[in-house]
Structure 1
Amino acid sequence: MGVIYHLNPLTTLPTAINNDPTFVHLYWSSQPSAYGPTWVAISSLLQWLTLPFGRQSLLPMVLALRFSGLLAHVCSTLLIWSITGQLQQRFGLVSARKRIVATLAFAWNPLLLFEACVNAHNDAVLLLLILLAIWFLLPGTHKLRGNILATLMLVLATCLKLNVALLLPFFLIFIWKQENQENALLRTPFVRTLSMALLYAGSIILLYAPFWQNG
């Protein structure tokens, strides 16, 4: 909608493009996009890349979405491998077999494969962003940069689906506990945690701002 028709998908009803070949396949035709700026950016990029193949055929965009889902799933699998390895080392429970089993259980999960590579559902990208947030939090030093990058990944995930905001309290509690363990000053954990909360809220506002039209 944004690339071809230059319309805001977060405020424009799909009925505005009822002559488009995709319209007949839309389930929610009476409301704007249920997804946020992150998915708008990703889908717009894919749409732009497939424009040379024409506007009337849906096949190029479908294939692009499926490939992006597959790519997201592969990247998530690599993150699972990395995360399980770091957790094993951190808790002193190193087991190559368990690490392989955990990774393959994720990689070969038929539901995940079907949703990512056949349905091309954006939950594959959502899961990747959440795993990235976890991955950035894992290094033992828990430096400020890791917290910032993890927060930004959570921001992108929230701006794909707003229900990810439910993870924010647990995310902030984790940062608070880590800062408590690593800093003797009482105020430091509070300041760091509050800073991440403000970064989270401010970044979401900035990402939604270009799409905000008359409230």
Structure 2
Amino acid sequence: MRSDLKSFSRVFPWQGQPARLEIQNLTALMLLINLVGLSLFIYSWFFVRPYNLLAWYEQPKLTLRPFTQDDPSTLGWLVWAFLVQGGLYWLGWRLALQLRGRAAWLIVLGGAMAFSIALLFLYPLDAADIFDNIMHGRIWGVYGANPFRDVAKQFADDPFYPYVAWRRTSSAYGPIWEMLAGGVARLTGDGIVANVLAFKLLNGLFLAFSIGLVAVILRRTAPERALAGVTLLAWNPVVLYETIGNGHNDIVMAVWLLAAAWAIFERRYTLTILALLMGALIKFIPLLLIPVAALMALRHLPDLRARLRFLLTTSLAAVALIGTAYGPFWYGLQSLGLGRRTELFTASLPAAMRAWLYLTWGVKDIGWVISLAAAGLTALFVLWQSRRLWTDPSWLNFVQVSFNILIFYLLVTCLWFQQWYTIWPLALAALLPPGHAPRLAVLFSYAALSKHLIFGPLLFWVRPRPPRAELEMIFGPAVHTLPWLYTLLALWLVRQSKSNTDAIESP
């Protein structure tokens, strides 16, 4: 009789377990839908309602400061809203680790789209960069001038001139971005709201491309965490706030980091280098990853002939791409704007070091020395990570090494730090397994917000304001303390884990 029951159970498995799993899955889906609704309410009520683009667009260079003067609790409510959104984001990511199926994908992608549509109507509060981008786009697309040579001051009658913060400064971006900006500005016309929405939609398009690349890559490499990886990027409140809400263009560069990760997975090494170069022609940061990508190619190619062919083909294609991109704008080496990058310091370890040298020793013209030292330290770290990649030339290790380089640059050697830069490593963290890297990327993105919402107001809104050098001594370390501490903790835990593993394996 007992053997008959065993046979019956093998032929007709117990139906309670699948039913229970189905109920759990439906419960998780309903919870995910509720998270979307609550997050959308918070974005709409606490972000868009008080700072609506349609209500405030006639006010140039509007920031949070005048709102806090009228109501000191304004900043506190925004901080609270970000913290709640962070909790909802974490819950959504945890659910995405468990869920499978089309319904879960539709909820996650639909939620990201709903959040983005709401944030389209947020007035850009944390910087005037989107207006500078529009103005530089108009310099080329409307006036036919050169945004790498000509500045906003020369076009004082333009309707966007009152909104521009850097009126005497040429474009800080690469030619690919200026082509995109010029095309959008030319098509959109002179309307303030129309241009702001158009540039935000351009960012939204590249955010959608980035999400698509994360989905495609993970469905090939780790389908069990594809939905979680997409959620990590698509629902991140800082990514949405900075990309859609404030219109920063970092996602336009970050998409090429993901394209390079896809190309290297497919072992299309020339495309990998060209993808990184495309990103560098928007913002220079992907140049840091070209050495490790080239090393990955040389490590995998079978013989000397294949390696020489790769080097020749890639070099010719890179020269052609650079020439095509810079052709319409070139007027000499000044087009690269290299000198300007050594003069800008804020909210970073180098900025604090520069301020300390000035306050302690009276050293003033030290910026170029610090920038050279930071560049040298970055190069050494890239070499160290290249050695790590040579010993383990796997695709996943390439992504990890690239993430490490970006994190090191932002935490240690970046001269001019802004909170939206944290989008770069977070895009790559979406491809990595749950662990220290994604946690650090998310923590860093939130810690960086303290520059805009906590330490910036505390240090720079006071009157009379202390000297800038005194503030920079505090500013960068205050913003970076949490990610520094977590990085040290993660390194210690990894070392401990390795020591325990070695102890177990040793005879």
Q: TM (normalized to structure 2)?
A: 0.37
Give the residue type in structure 2 aligned to 1:149: L
RMSD of aligned Cα (Å): 1.9
Alignment of 1:109-188 (within 5 A): 109-139=236-266, 142=267, 146-179=268-301, 183=302, 185-188=303-306
Structure 1 residue ranges, 4+ long, deviating more than 6 angstroms after superposition: none
Which one has more relative contact order, counting CA pairs under 8 Å at least 6 apart? 1
Matched, 1:209 2:330: no
Contact 1:73 1:113 in 2 (8 A): no
Q: TM (normalized to structure 1)?
A: 0.82
In the aligned structure 1, how far is the partner of 2:144 from the partner of 2:200? 24
Paired residue for 2:173?
Answer: 35
In the aligned structure 1, how far is the partner of 2:228 from the partner of 2:332? 51
Contact 1:157 1:164 in 2 (8 A): yes
More divergent stretch after superposition (21-30 vs 164-173):
21-30
Give the residue type in structure 1 aligned to 2:143: Y
In the aligned structure 2, how far is the partner of 1:3 from the partner of 1:210? 12
Contact 1:176 1:190 in 2 (8 A): no
Contact 1:172 1:197 in 2 (8 A): no
Find the residue that maps to 2:153 and give its secondary structure: helix
Q: What percentage of residue pairs aligned between the two structures are identical? A: 26
Paired residue for 1:73?
Answer: 207
How far off is 1:64 after superposition?
0.6
How far off is 1:38 after superposition?
0.6
In the aligned structure 1, how far is the partner of 2:332 from the partner of 2:269? 34
State which structure, 1 or 2, has the greater radius of gyration over its C-alpha atoms: 2
In the aligned structure 1, how far is the partner of 2:218 from the partner of 2:255? 15
In the aligned structure 2, how far is the partner of 1:47 from the partner of 1:30? 20
Picking from 130, 149, 166, the partner of 1:11 is 149
Find the residue that maps to 2:140 and give its secondary structure: coil
More divergent stretch after superposition (24-33 vs 192-201):
192-201
Contact 1:155 1:200 in 2 (8 A): yes
Contact 2:272 2:293 in 1 (8 A): no
In the aligned structure 2, how far is the partner of 1:174 from the partner of 1:202? 23
Find the residue that maps to 1:128 and give its secondary structure: helix
Give 5+ residue unaligned stretches, structure 2.
1-138, 334-507
Bigger proportion of residues as helix? 2
Give the residue type in structure 2 aligned to 1:16: Q
Go from structure 1 to structure 2 and tell me whether the alpha carbon gap of 1:11 and 1:84 turns closer, same or farther (over 3 Å shift): same
Q: What does the per-residue CA deviation read over 1:182-208, in whole Å, with 9 as the maximum and x for residues that have no partner?
A: x2x233224413532443244213321
In the aligned structure 1, how far is the partner of 2:170 from the partner of 2:318? 24
Contact 1:151 1:199 in 2 (8 A): no
Go from structure 1 to structure 2 and tell me whether the alpha carbon gap of 1:186 and 1:149 turns closer, same or farther (over 3 Å shift): closer
Paired residue for 2:311?
Answer: 193
Q: What does the per-residue CA deviation read over 1:87-118, in whole Å, with 9 as the maximum and x for residues that have no partner?
A: 23xxxxxx52x222122111101111112111
Find the residue that maps to 1:2 and give its secondary structure: helix
How far off is 1:73 after superposition?
1.0
Picking from 203, 207, 227, the partner of 1:100 is 227
